[in-house]
Amino acid sequence: MNIEDFREYCISKKGITEEFPFDEHTLVFKVMGKMFALVALRRLPSQVNLKCDPEYAEELRETHDGDVIPGYHMSKKHWNTVLIERISPQLTKKFIDHSYDLVVCGLTKKLKTELENLE
């Protein structure tokens, strides 16, 4: 999966915004204002940071040695860096879904209701 396909998949989800809060090279995707994905636009090979359940994160790092690593400049416990051009698009989408779902589960009841009511 390339960066453009990654972006398209992320913004297809409900309640998403994208912005550059850190610098002009790091694109951040948020659901209801909470970060779930970051993309380093100038890094090669293409890599993204995705939120992940800590136990699952360890499992993915072991299973995908070198292609899924502890989150670069992030909490190593809760974030993975994924080299998206080295793993299948289906698996990348699964990782995106997992990150999105984790963040949605952590939203306040008010934000969850707002998200549910979005068209």
- Compute the C-alpha angle 103/86/19, nearest 5°: 40
Return the CATH number at 21: 3.90.1150.30
Total number of domains constituting the chain: 1
- Which pLDDT score, from 0 to 100, does residue 18 have? 97
Does residue 100 belong to any structural domain of this protein?
yes
Residue 12 has pLDDT above 90, yes or no: yes
Residue 119 has pLDDT above 80, yes or no: no
Alpha carbon distance 91, 28 (integer Å): 20
Does residue 118 belong to any structural domain of this protein?
no
Does residue 34 belong to any structural domain of this protein?
yes
In the chain, DSSP finds a helix count (H) and a strand count (E) of: 4, 6
Does residue 29 belong to any structural domain of this protein?
yes
- Which pLDDT score, from 0 to 100, does residue 21 have? 94
Does residue 117 belong to any structural domain of this protein?
no
Work out whether the CA dihedral 104, 15, 80, 90 comes out positive or negative. positive
- Which pLDDT score, from 0 to 100, does residue 86 have? 92
Domain of 52, in residue numbers: 3-110
pTM for this one?
0.93
Does residue 116 belong to any structural domain of this protein?
no
